[in-house]
């Protein structure tokens, strides 16, 4: 039982991290109807910036306190993501108003390659650590209930807490504010949104900023766990099945989709793995996503696809 | 019925010419719109009616000419500025936010008017909540007015066409525009739906005092509800005046019925 719970919790924590990346996809899709292929590159770019700034600031200014250096690096990386968002609107999206979804998708593919390239030429292409003082030691919980207790990674618990707070804030933003409503409106119809006075350009900057901030948080947590390296971009590919499962338009869907996939991966690896020779973790998410595409293409919580004929 | 007072000129269109490459969509068009009137732009298919509307709405920028709205003259503007100045519009091919409910669609029309702090809005506290309620009340009023109470929570994508047209009108009304541009509000409707729409247009004009600029190619409907009519053909103005004089205008008759040579 304790072992099962341990696996379950491990899966939930891994899932939380997938969710964070998936959230970036959902945000941009919900607010502009664009499937943003660059989300993975944004995670890498933000994490690289954060890691390098935290390293450079003390060297440049002689700040001794690592906490202060980290805070400054976080702010600087956030500002950089704002600049990225602004440039994306200025140079790319503005010229593609009222275009087909596929056109915008291709544009984000271009942005992805650009960010990957420029990120590495600005910040280098080694593996960089992010040390934000996360406690690395695992703790044992419930050792009165189960013999030996359950092993839980403190770092994961904190990451889960951050992710939960982020989701709550974003849900309120989308459902309760005028800007949130404007974002949803823009996603549905650019021209109509403009006709009622929604400033398209500003809305796009806002949503890319928010997605950039989410990418920064995701990159920071992943980076602190595994170090910042080029392979971070492939995490975006792991988040793809998550959004298919949860629904492209649903913030809660991204979270629950992430958790299901995290838990499913771990449980199937541990309990089914021995029978088929292991390696389930690698393909489990994609197979699950395929099944969903067949039977419920809008995902668990996505908006129902309405087609009048 | 005909006691409403028609005021001064609010919208003045001056010598507008619009070209797409070698195609002259509009050539030297001038007309004015007076306060509280229902002004129609009619013409056969391809006459340039929608282009004219899109120029006023700031979607297209005409190569020549200017538009004066309430004393301010513009040679080009964008859709957002136009919305801020108080010109609302509906669309010929529905452009609603399909995934959102009727209420949310109409609420988006009030976006420009909601001023409270985004943090307060997210938490629904204090002034933000009062403001939201006040705007919601206005929206409920519009929903009652358009008789779509039963569908307020329905995603608009699921509504039949005629009702979607009403939601489109409702969203534009929520802006409380001074001038409302209607792009073929009756296109694709059956007779009953057309009558309903006519009634709504007249009521909007009457109750809210909104000036209406209307595009339509169904002549019958237009003649019944308009105060004055502009007729376009091949991008040129061929007639302008009250429905009766336009109906008897030789050029208009030949444009619609063809001429015998």
| Residue in A closest to B58 by C-alpha | A195
The structural domains of chain B, with segments of one domain joined by +, span 1-86+177-261, 98-175
Q: Is the pLDDT of residue B191 over 80?
A: yes
State how far Cα B177 lies from the chain centre: 10
Nearest to A237 by CA among A43, A4, A9: A43
User: How many residues would you count in chain B?
Assistant: 261
CB contact under 8 A, A184 and B104: yes
pLDDT at residue B217 in the model: 76
Q: Which two tokens stand for residue A96?
A: 């593609």
How far is the C-alpha of B30 from the C-alpha of B13, rounded, in Å?
A: 5
pLDDT at residue A21 in the model: 86
pLDDT at residue A306 in the model: 59
CB contacts of B121 in chain A (<8 Å) are 176-178
- Calculate how close chain B gets to A194, using CA atoms only, in Å: 6
User: Mutating which of A174, A185, A187, A190 best tests the B interface, going by the most B Cβ atoms within 10 A?
Assistant: A185
- The domains of chain A, with CATH numbers, are 2-295 (1.10.3470)
- Calculate how close chain A gets to B136, using CA atoms only, in Å: 12
pLDDT at residue A304 in the model: 65
Residue A113 vs residue B100, higher pLDDT: A113
Tell me if chain B has a CB within 8 Å of the CB of A198. Answer: yes
pLDDT at residue B213 in the model: 93
Give the CA distances from residue A135 to residues A44, A148, A149, A172, A223, in Å, rounded to whole numbers and listed in that order: 23, 21, 19, 30, 14
Digit-coded pLDDT (tens) for A155-202: 888 888 888 888 888 888 887 888 888 888 887 787 888 888 888 888
CB contacts of B180 in chain A (<8 Å) are none
pLDDT at residue A45 in the model: 93
Residues B31-65 as b or e (16 or more Cβ within 10 Å = b): bbbbbbbbbbbbbeeebbbbbbbbbbbbbbebeeb
How far is the C-alpha of B222 from the C-alpha of B219, rounded, in Å?
A: 5
Tell me if chain B has a CB within 8 Å of the CB of A126. Answer: no
Of all helices (H) and strands (E), which one includes residue B120?
Answer: helix B118-123
- Calculate how close chain A gets to B72, using CA atoms only, in Å: 19
Of all helices (H) and strands (E), which one includes residue B89?
Answer: strand B87-89
| Residue in B closest to A192 by C-alpha | B95
Superfamily of domain B1-86+177-261: P-loop containing nucleotide triphosphate hydrolases (3.40.50.300)
How far is the C-alpha of B248 from the C-alpha of B256, rounded, in Å?
A: 12
Full 3-state SS string of chain A? CHHHHHHHHHHHHHHHHHHHHHHHHHHHHHHHCCCCCCHHHHHHHHHHHHHHHHHHHHHHHCCCCHHHHHHHHHHHHHHHHHHHHHHHHHHHHHHHCCCCHHHHHHHHHHHHHHHHHHHHHHHCCCCECCCCCCCCCEEEECCCCCCCCEEEEHHHHHHHHHHHHHHHHHHHHHHHCHHHHHHHHHHHCHHHHHHCCCCHHHHHHHHHHHHHHHHHHHHHHHHHHHCECCCHHHHHHHHHHHHHHHCCCCHHHHHHHHHHHHHHHHHHHHHCHHHHCCCHHHHHHHHHHHHHHHHCCCCCCCCCCCCCC
CB contacts of A191 in chain B (<8 Å) are 59, 79, 91, 95
pLDDT tens digit at each of 309 positions of chain A: 778 888 888 888 888 888 888 888 888 887 777 888 898 899 999 999 999 988 888 888 877 788 888 889 999 999 999 999 999 988 988 888 777 778 888 999 999 999 999 998 998 888 888 887 777 777 777 767 766 667 777 888 888 888 888 888 888 888 788 888 888 888 778 788 888 888 888 888 888 898 999 999 988 888 888 888 888 887 777 888 888 888 888 888 888 898 999 899 888 888 887 887 777 878 888 888 898 888 888 778 776 665 555
pLDDT at residue B200 in the model: 92
Report whether B3 contacts B32 (CB < 8 A): no
pLDDT at residue B259 in the model: 60
User: Mean per-residue pLDDT for B45-50?
Assistant: 85
CB contacts of B188 in chain A (<8 Å) are none
Q: Is the pLDDT of residue B96 over 60?
A: yes
CB contact under 8 A, B80 and A194: yes
pLDDT at residue B181 in the model: 92
User: Mean per-residue pLDDT for B147-164?
Assistant: 88
Sign of CA dihedral A54, A20, A36, B103: negative
CB contacts of A98 in chain B (<8 Å) are none
Nearest to B104 among A173, A181, A306 (CB): A181
User: Mean per-residue pLDDT for B183-202?
Assistant: 88
Nearest to A178 among B98, B114, B175 (CB): B114
> Among A147-151, B15-19, B195-199, B221-225, where is mean pLDDT lowest?
A147-151
User: Token match 């136009």: residue?
Assistant: B82
CB contacts of A308 in chain B (<8 Å) are 157
Q: Which two tokens stand for residue B55?
A: 């120029």
Q: Is the pLDDT of residue B75 over 80?
A: no
Q: Is the pLDDT of residue B3 over 60?
A: no
Digit-coded pLDDT (tens) for B113-122: 777 777 777 7
Nearest to A261 by CA among A285, A238, A278, A283: A285
Nearest to B111 among A172, A181, A249 (CB): A181
CB contact under 8 A, B80 and A189: no
Tell me if chain A has a CB within 8 Å of the CB of B65. Answer: no
Helix axes A66-87 and A39-61, enclosed angle (nearest 10): 140
Give the CA distances from residue A37 to residues A27, A220, A299, B16, B200, in Å, rounded to whole numbers and listed in that order: 13, 20, 19, 43, 45
State how far Cα B109 lies from the chain centre: 14
CB contacts of A169 in chain B (<8 Å) are 122
Report whether A141 contacts A149 (CB < 8 A): yes
pLDDT at residue A231 in the model: 82
Nearest to A196 among B100, B108, B121 (CB): B108
pLDDT at residue A114 in the model: 93
Nearest to B112 among A187, A192, A197 (CB): A197
Residue A10 vs residue B217, higher pLDDT: A10
Q: Provide the whole-model pTM.
A: 0.76
pLDDT at residue B1 in the model: 46
| Residue in A closest to B110 by C-alpha | A196
pLDDT at residue A49 in the model: 92
Digit-coded pLDDT (tens) for A69-93: 888 999 999 999 999 999 998 898 8
């Amino acid at each position: 039982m304790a072992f099962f719970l341990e696996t379950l919790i491990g899966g939930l924590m891994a899932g939380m991290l997938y969710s964070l990346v998936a959230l970036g996809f959902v945000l941009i899709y919900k607010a502009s109807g664009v499937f943003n292929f660059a989300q993975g590159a944004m995670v890498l770019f933000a994490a690289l910036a954060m890691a390098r700034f935290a390293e450079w600031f003390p060297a440049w200014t002689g700040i001794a306190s690592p906490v202060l250096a980290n805070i400054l690096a976080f702010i600087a990386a956030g500002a950089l993501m704002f600049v990225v968002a602004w440039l994306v609107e200025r140079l790319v999206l503005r010229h593609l108003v009222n275009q087909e979804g596929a056109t915008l998708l291709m544009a984000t593919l271009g942005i992805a390659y650009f960010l990957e390239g420029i990120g590495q030429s600005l910040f280098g292409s080694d593996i960089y650590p992010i040390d934000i003082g996360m406690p690395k030691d695992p703790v044992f919980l419930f050792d009165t209930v189960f013999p030996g207790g359950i092993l839980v990674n403190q770092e994961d618990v904190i990451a889960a807490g951050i992710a939960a707070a982020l989701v709550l804030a974003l849900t309120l933003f989308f459902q309760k504010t005028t800007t949130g409503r404007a974002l949803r409106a823009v996603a549905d119809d650019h021209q109509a949104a403009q006709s009622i006075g929604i400033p398209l350009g500003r809305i796009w900057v806002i949503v890319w900023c928010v997605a950039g901030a989410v990418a920064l948080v995701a990159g920071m947590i992943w980076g602190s766990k595994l170090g910042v390296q080029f392979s971070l971009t492939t995490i975006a590919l792991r988040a793809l099945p998550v959004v298919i499962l949860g629904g492209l338009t649903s913030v809660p869907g991204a979270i629950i989709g992430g958790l299901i996939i995290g838990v499913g991966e771990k449980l199937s690896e541990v309990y089914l793995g021995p029978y088929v020779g292991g390696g389930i973790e690698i393909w489990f998410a994609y197979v699950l996503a395929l099944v969903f595409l067949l039977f419920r293409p809008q995902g668990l919580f996505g908006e129902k696809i309405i087609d009048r004929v | 019925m005909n006691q409403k007072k028609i005021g001064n000129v609010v919208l003045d269109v001056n010598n507008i010419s619009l070209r797409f490459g070698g195609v002259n969509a509009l050539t030297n068009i001038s007309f004015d719109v007076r306060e509280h009137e229902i002004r129609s732009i009619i013409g056969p298919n391809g006459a340039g009616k929608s282009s004219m509307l899109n120029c006023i709405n700031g979607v297209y920028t005409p190569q020549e000419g200017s538009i004066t709205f309430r004393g301010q003259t513009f040679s080009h503007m964008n859709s957002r500025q136009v919305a801020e100045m108080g010109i609302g519009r509906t669309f010929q091919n529905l452009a609603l936010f399909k995934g959102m409910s009727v209420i949310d669609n109409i609420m988006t029309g009030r976006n420009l008017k909601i001023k409270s702090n985004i943090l307060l809005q997210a938490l629904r506290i204090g002034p933000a909540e009062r403001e939201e309620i006040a705007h919601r009340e206005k929206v409920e009023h519009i929903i009652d007015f358009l008789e779509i109470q039963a569908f307020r929570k329905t995603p608009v994508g699921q509504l039949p066409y005629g009702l979607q047209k009403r939601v489109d009108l409702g969203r534009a009304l929520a802006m409380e525009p001074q001038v409302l541009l209607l792009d073929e509000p009756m296109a694709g409707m059956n007779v009953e739906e057309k009558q309903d729409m006519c009634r709504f247009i007249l009521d909007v004009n009457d109750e809210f005092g909104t000036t209406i600029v209307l595009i339509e190619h169904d002549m019958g409907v237009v003649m019944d509800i308009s105060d004055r009519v502009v007729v376009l053909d091949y991008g040129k103005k061929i007639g302008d005046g009250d429905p009766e004089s336009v109906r008897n205008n030789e050029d208009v008759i030949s444009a619609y019925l063809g001429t015998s040579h």
